[in-house]
Amino acid sequence: MISGGMNHISLWKGMSGTSMPNWDDVLKEQERWDIVAYIKTFSGLDKPAKGPIDYKNQIKSSKESIEKGKETFKKMCAECHGEEGRGDGTKKLKDDLGFRTWPRNLTKPWTFRVDNDPKEIYTRISNGIPGTQMPSFADPTSKKTLSDEERWNVANYIVSIADDVKRPKDDTVLKAIRVEGELPDKVDDPKWSVAESTSFYMIPQIIAKERFFTPSLDSITAKAFYNGKEISILLEWDDRTKSIPGDEKAKEIAEGDVLEDSVAIQLPVTIPEEMEKPYFGMGDSVRPVNIWQWKSGKKDASEAIKLLNANGFQKVEQRDAGKTGLRATGIYNNGTWRVVMKRQLATEEKGKDIQFEEGRYTPISFAAWDGSNGESGSRHVMTTWSWLLLKPATPKSTYIIPLIVVVVVFGGELLLARSSRKKI
């Protein structure tokens, strides 16, 4: 945890979902081990506590074991980890020092403290995680205990719910698929199952004031379709809380006031010829951006979506979304928001809106706000620029070259993001 870089491809090499940075580039290996030894003395963990964990009764994963584990999970774990394990529990949790903590989203093993090997999960269930609300289920003095067999079955269940689609990969091009006929404008339209998913890491916004260091959202997954007239983009992201201002249930577990959950897509107004993109924090004076922002609190769908044009943080103009055909709807279910945004490919005000073209690589980035985590305005998470490609129906070899450019440009951005962190 001190070294960071836990086996995931990320702009953020520190601990997932937190502002704890990696120290492997600042401290020597021996220095890091010395700190480990020192930190262990705080809690008395420098002296061996219990004997080593015994794995000899491990139950091999099977359909039956997973089914049994699922039953136990619903009874013993769902109140904190949520019905489907996405950390959307119904309890407000604080750690031993009184700081707000969020239960782990168990469908994202790449954010785990170690990994999701069944033995690791069994260890956490048996021992708990000291200092946090994650209890031990093998402690005879505790109210809630599970037999050895139950702990292995529930560990097998947790391995089975890993959702690899949500794990950001090296490919950061969102490919819109061409279809004939109407585009889906509902989140649960079965057509979405044939679209290609691309997932992106989201990192806290730390460029503009007020900076943000305590994120609760970490990635977003997108899919897209287009036809001769319109483009439709589905955004899916795990959020532990459905935040609607005024909602009693949301108030119980929120950190402070319940603000709205929100998501936004950012696109340049003109597609850059030289692959030169606007500044990724809301554009710059010469390269304006379009921002499509959806918010959770509005009943009327036409009020839930806003169209903004920005030339940097200070110069933001609100425009009429309806004129461009921009609309959006969203649904929350068991820890996941799904929002569809739809717009015409071409609009009337050509100088003010992005005009989508088949076969073109268009820069695209995303931002999201968790309203129960005090996020609004500049306090949010975001991706850097990625690419949206309106994939032609028949692939041509000419698309190989832009792809190489994408890799080079994106790779450069990673380095930039890394070196700017060191200066903070």
Q: Which residues bind ligand HEC (CB under 6 A)?
A: 76-77, 79-81, 91, 93, 101, 103-104, 112-114, 121, 124-125, 129, 132-135, 137, 154, 158
Phi-psi region of 321 (alpha: psi -120 to 50; beta: other; left: phi over 0): alpha
For the CB of residue 15, give the shortest distance to ligand HEC in the complex, in Å.
Answer: 10
Q: With respect to ligand HEC, which residue has the nearer C-beta, 148 or 413?
A: 148
For the CB of residue 68, give the shortest distance to ligand HEC in the complex, in Å.
Answer: 12
Question: Cα–Cα distance between 235 and 354 in angstroms, integer?
Answer: 19
For the CB of residue 71, give the shortest distance to ligand HEC in the complex, in Å.
Answer: 11
Task: Quote helix, strand, coil % in the chain, to nearest 5.
Answer: 25, 20, 55
User: Pick from 285, 292, 354, 337: which is nearest to 313 by CA?
Assistant: 285
| Contact in structure between 326 and 292 (CB atoms under 8 Å) | yes
For the CB of residue 201, give the shortest distance to ligand HEC in the complex, in Å.
Answer: 17
Q: How far, CA to CA in Å, does 298 sit from each of 37, 259, 328, 335?
A: 52, 12, 11, 19
Q: With respect to ligand HEC, which residue has the nearer C-beta, 145 or 355?
A: 145
Q: C-alpha 148: how far from its chain's center?
A: 34
For the CB of residue 90, give the shortest distance to ligand HEC in the complex, in Å.
Answer: 10
Q: How far, CA to CA in Å, does 108 sit from each of 17, 145, 164, 243, 282?
A: 11, 25, 8, 21, 29
Q: With respect to ligand HEC, which residue has the nearer C-beta, 134 or 267?
A: 134
Q: With respect to ligand HEC, which residue has the nearer C-beta, 134 or 388?
A: 134
For the CB of residue 314, give the shortest distance to ligand HEC in the complex, in Å.
Answer: 38
For the CB of residue 312, give the shortest distance to ligand HEC in the complex, in Å.
Answer: 37
Find the helix or strand (DSSP H, E) in which 136 lies. none
For the CB of residue 48, give the shortest distance to ligand HEC in the complex, in Å.
Answer: 21
Alpha helices in 290-384 (DSSP H): 301-304
Cβ within 8 Å of residue 87, ≥6 positions away: 81, 102, 103, 104, 105, 106, 238, 240, 335
Q: With respect to ligand HEC, which residue has the nearer C-beta, 120 or 196?
A: 120
Question: Cα–Cα distance between 236 and 219 in angstroms, integer?
Answer: 9
Question: Cα–Cα distance between 184 and 168 in angstroms, integer?
Answer: 24
How many beta carbons lie within 10 A of that of residue 16, not counting itself?
21
If DSSP codes are grouped into helix, strand and coil, which group holds residue 37? helix
